[in-house]
Chain A
């Protein structure tokens, strides 16, 4: 059976894989603790085993999940490399300056609000 129709992970499949709350939840689970079995992942979701498997397959095709056999078990690992590449390509480039300016503004306004809230009435 062919696992990869196209060996190159493309941005589309990564964005699509991330565009689902269940799949993001699965990634967060693996971020907290990597190398989990299907049974462990399934126990965290109110979903059938088949449903979880379908989501895992989408993540695996997008390259952000990889599986390794350890004895009789199949372990699931988060592979951050494609997300890293999307970050470099799509996020860093456009947001760096603006985001840091906004974050500074936010900090400043919050500090101001905090100072005001402490002023005696």
Chain B
């Protein structure tokens, strides 16, 4: 208990929770998370690969712009632990942006999609970040010119894409 962030970064702890209400069906939200056709439209716009069964691989690919900065083809990897379409997805999550990121190892992301009203769903993202202070700081950070957008930015962009078809 009372675990102040190991890296001493303000606002960063071991678990982060994000919630957003989206005017879309659970299936549409599920697709926006798991299919590359959707993930290229919001956030970092990298294509994902999800083998949606326990033990299946998860990979997020870099965009051309990222590769031009010298980033590898796969920038995030992990393993699917649970996939219950279209309501729950649990997978591990490791950044491969740098050696320091890679050394922190795997964290865990849980996506929960719950229908809360006619045509409305609540999407909750729980990110367990034990032992990954660098990643914790990155995913908590706000969008900046350098492209360090956190979950809040990714999820609000996803909401915009699902509701209006437009990206930020």
Binding site for B on A (CB under 8 A): 4, 6-9, 31-35, 63, 66, 68, 77, 79-85, 88
B17→A77 contact, CB < 8 A: yes
Binding site for A on B (CB under 8 A): 4-5, 10-11, 13-21, 23, 116-117, 120, 122, 124, 126, 142, 150-153, 155-156, 159, 168
Q: Which of A4, A7, A34 contacts B16 (CB 8 A)?
A: A34
Closest to B140 in A: A80
A7→B18 contact, CB < 8 A: no
**Residues in chain A near residue B155, CB distance under 8 A:** 81
Known: A9-B21, A63-B21. A84 touches B168 (CB 8 A): no
B140 to chain A: closest CB distance in Å? 8
Kindly count the residue-residue contacts between A and B in the assembled complex, taking CB atoms under 8 Å apart: 63
A-B contact pairs, 19 of them (CB 8 A): A7-B116, A7-B122, A34-B13, A34-B15, A35-B14, A35-B15, A63-B19, A66-B124, A68-B126, A77-B17, A79-B18, A79-B19, A81-B20, A81-B151, A81-B155, A82-B20, A83-B152, A84-B156, A88-B156
B4→A66 contact, CB < 8 A: no
A88→B168 contact, CB < 8 A: yes
A7→B21 contact, CB < 8 A: yes
Give Cα distance in the complex from A9 to B23, angstroms: 11
B61 to chain A: closest CB distance in Å? 25
Known: A7-B116, A80-B152, A81-B155. A31 touches B17 (CB 8 A): no
Give Cα distance in the complex from A4 to B13, angstroms: 28
Closest to B12 in A: A34
Give Cα distance in the complex from A17 to B86, angstroms: 32
B19→A66 contact, CB < 8 A: yes
B117→A84 contact, CB < 8 A: no
A7→B117 contact, CB < 8 A: yes
**Residues in chain B near residue A4, CB distance under 8 A:** 116-117
B120→A8 contact, CB < 8 A: yes
Give Cα distance in the complex from A6 to B122, angstroms: 12
**Residues in chain A near residue B156, CB distance under 8 A:** 81, 84-85, 88
**Residues in chain B near residue A35, CB distance under 8 A:** 13-15, 17
A14 to chain B: closest CB distance in Å? 12
